[in-house]
Amino acid sequence: MVGPMITVIGSLNMDLVVTAERAPEQGETVTGTGFAQIPGGKGANQAVAAARGGARVAMAGRVGDDAYGRALVEALEKDPVDTSAIEKIPGIPTGIAAITVDQKGHNRIVVVPGANGRLTPKTAEDLRGLIARSRVLLLQLEIPLDAVGRAIEIAREEGVCCILNPAPALSLPDFFYTHVDMLTPNETELALLSGRTDIREGARVLLERGLATLLVTLGEDGALLLTPEGERHFPAYRVAMTDSTAAGDCFNGNLAAGMDRLLEGRTADKTFVPSLIDLVPVIDRAMKAAAISVTRQGAQPSLPEAEEIDRFDSWYPEHRL
């Protein structure tokens, strides 16, 4: 794979998914209705989402030298995602996520990082060449924060658009806000980052820290885009939800794919800043992709192909909530 593309630096997990009518209460045992092992991890899911959304994608991360690790790499290569920057670490297990999905499609997740926890600032520095020849760098917080921070700095130094999905939520160093081009928290993550429960108050706090673009995902209430230029609400699409496990990852991967298309032909112009109007079709397409994903079971198996997103309006003619 050569030329500009999306680079994802992030986690690769094997998802151990249990389905049940409801999640157990504390101290309670419930009988499940199904079990599956599905390739996942926020980084890998977002890489697959971007690739199926039509982008050229490279995935960087770490797995164990074990059966789960090999299965995760093989799954990425089928899409295809460039896996040459994924390192196998002997003696350290591949990360896993234990996921319970109830009959309404809502989920609860516990992540054990494993090899994902071995990424360092030096790892990011070693990836400078890959980052530099990309149009978009996509990051999450399932890998160590110092590695994420160094990757953000490199993207800024190389003039590469950087999207950070701050999940799971952590307190962020101040320079994250001035160096990333777009931050994509959900409501819970926004509250933790800003110290405010009101969405617009929280957004104001982050924008005052120097953030260029904030895109808050609101689940069934859609998404809210906020920039110093103004704001735009995107209502959710009306679909029958089966499993929301990968909705956020699907949204972020397709957002990155859309940014890649928007920046195509402008790679040499390091001063180009997309306007609010530029971002509207990019975000709308990511919303459609996420809506499709929640109608399907599993993480990566639920992620739609570009052609499916293209046909969304014909499948769901009355789709806005």
Which candidate in 66, 79, 249, 260 is catalytic? 249
Radius of gyration of the chain, Cα coordinates, nearest whole angstrom? 18
So what's the pLDDT on residue 243?
83
- CA distances to 67, 87, 268, 303 from 158, in Å: 36, 23, 11, 30
Residue 271 scores a pLDDT above 80: no
Q: Is the pLDDT of residue 272 over 80?
A: no
CA distances (Å), origin 275, targets 216, 284, 292 = 17, 15, 27
Model confidence at 316, pLDDT cuts 50, 70, 90, reads: low
Least confident of 49-63, 176-190, 232-246, 263-277: 263-277
Instruction: Note whether 156 and 162 are within 8 A (CB).
Output: yes
Q: For residues 233 and 236, give the distance between their C-alpha atoms in angstroms, rounded to a whole number.
A: 10
Nearest Cα neighbor of 182 from 119, 262, 122, 290 is 262
- Rounded CA-CA distance 97/109 in Å is 7
* Confidence band of 245 (pLDDT split at 50, 70, 90): confident
In percent, the amount of the chain with pLDDT more than 90 equals: 82
pTM (2 decimals)? 0.92
- The mean per-residue pLDDT over the stretch 139-167 comes to 98
CATH for 6-11+42-91+117-315, among 3.30.2320.50, 3.40.640.10, 3.40.190.10, 3.40.1190.20?
3.40.1190.20
The confidence band for 171, taking pLDDT boundaries of 50, 70 and 90, is very high
Decide: residue 71, CB within 10 A, 0-12 exposed, 13-18 middle, 19+ buried: middle
Q: Is 82 a catalytic residue?
A: no
pLDDT exceeds 70 at position 318: no
Q: Is the per-residue pLDDT at 108 higher than 50?
A: yes
Tokens standing for residue 296: 């399907």
CA distance 68 to 317: 40
Give the angle subtended at the CA of 140 by the CAs of 194 and 143, to the nearest 5°. Answer: 110
The pLDDT of residue 210 is above 90: yes
Element (H, E) at 68: helix 67-77
How deeply is 110 buried, as exposed, middle or buried, from its count of CB atoms within 10 A (0-12, 13-18, 19+)? exposed
Q: Express each pLDDT in 51-72 by its tens digit.
A: 999 999 999 999 999 999 999 9
Share of the chain above pLDDT 70, in %: 95
Long-range contacts of 65-70 (CB under 8 A, 24+ apart): 65/89, 65/90, 65/91, 66/93, 66/94, 68/14, 68/93, 68/94, 68/96, 69/12, 69/94, 69/115
Domains of the chain, by residue range, sit at: 6-11+42-91+117-315
Tens digits of residue pLDDT in 73-101: 999 999 999 999 999 999 999 999 998 98
Q: Tell me what the mean pLDDT of segment 126-137 comes to.
A: 97
Q: Is the pLDDT of residue 297 over 90?
A: no
Between 104 and 216, where is the model more confident?
A: 216
Span 123-130, average pLDDT: 98
| 249 neighbors 42 (Cβ within 8 angstroms) | yes
pLDDT exceeds cutoff 90 at 105: no
* C-beta neighbour count of 262 within 10 angstroms: 18
